């Protein structure tokens, strides 16, 4: 009798937990499990960018990427915790101008690649002020011959 009650309680608990997990499911999320009979779709890099165009030394930025149908990704130079995602940003703190490359490998073995360069400058960029020219005397308005 005790064993039957334990089994019934365990089954009820498992059913409740599975039901509770469905409450947290977002229907807009993509399905990451595909049937074995499905043909692998080509890997695509949808976005790869830095949140700023240039940094001062010691500054930080976000390096953002979005991939589709990727089995594994690599970002070089290496950044922390990069993994396939439909939308993700990681914090970076380059010490000098750095060229970042994202490689995404698909389930079919093909690789997609995209690169960006993040500039690190000693001082912020500003356009040069217009040069002012001072004239010592009146301008000769005689026509050129």
* pLDDT(55) > 70: yes
pLDDT digit string, tens, across residues 18-40: 777 776 655 555 555 656 667 77
Higher pLDDT, 53 or 30: 53
Mean pLDDT throughout 31-60? 84
Average pLDDT of the chain to the nearest whole number: 81
Per-residue three-class SS string for the chain:
CHHHHHHHHHHHHHHHHHHHHHHCCCCCCCCCCCCCCCCCCCCEEEEEEECCCEECCCCCEEEEEEEECEEEEEEECCCCCCCCCCCEEEEECCCCCEEEEEEEEECCCCEEEEEEEEEECCCCCCCCCCCCCCCCCCCCCCCCC
pLDDT digit string, tens, across residues 121-133: 887 555 555 555 5
Range of the domain at 49: 40-123
Number of domains comprising the chain: 1
CATH of the domain at 113: 2.60.40.2470
Residue 144 lies in a domain: no
Residue 136 lies in a domain: no
Residue 1 lies in a domain: no
Mean pLDDT throughout 93-115? 94
Residue 56 lies in a domain: yes
Is pTM beyond 0.85? Reply is no
């Amino acid at each position: 009798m005790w064993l039957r009650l334990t089994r019934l309680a365990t089954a009820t608990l498992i059913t409740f937990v599975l039901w509770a997990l469905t409450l947290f499911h977002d229907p807009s999320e993509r399905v990451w499990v595909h049937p074995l009979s499905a043909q692998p779709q080509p890997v695509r890099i949808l976005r790869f960018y830095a949140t700023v165009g240039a940094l001062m030394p010691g500054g930080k930025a976000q390096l953002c990427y979005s991939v589709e149908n990727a089995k594994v990704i690599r970002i070089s130079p290496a950044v922390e915790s990069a993994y396939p995602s439909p939308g993700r940003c990681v914090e970076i703190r380059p010490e000098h101008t750095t060229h970042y490359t994202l490689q995404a490998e698909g389930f079919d073995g093909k690789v997609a690649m995209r690169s960006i360069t993040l500039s690190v400058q000693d001082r912020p960029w500003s356009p040069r002020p217009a040069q002012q020219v001072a004239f010592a005397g009146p301008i000769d308005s005689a026509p050129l011959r």
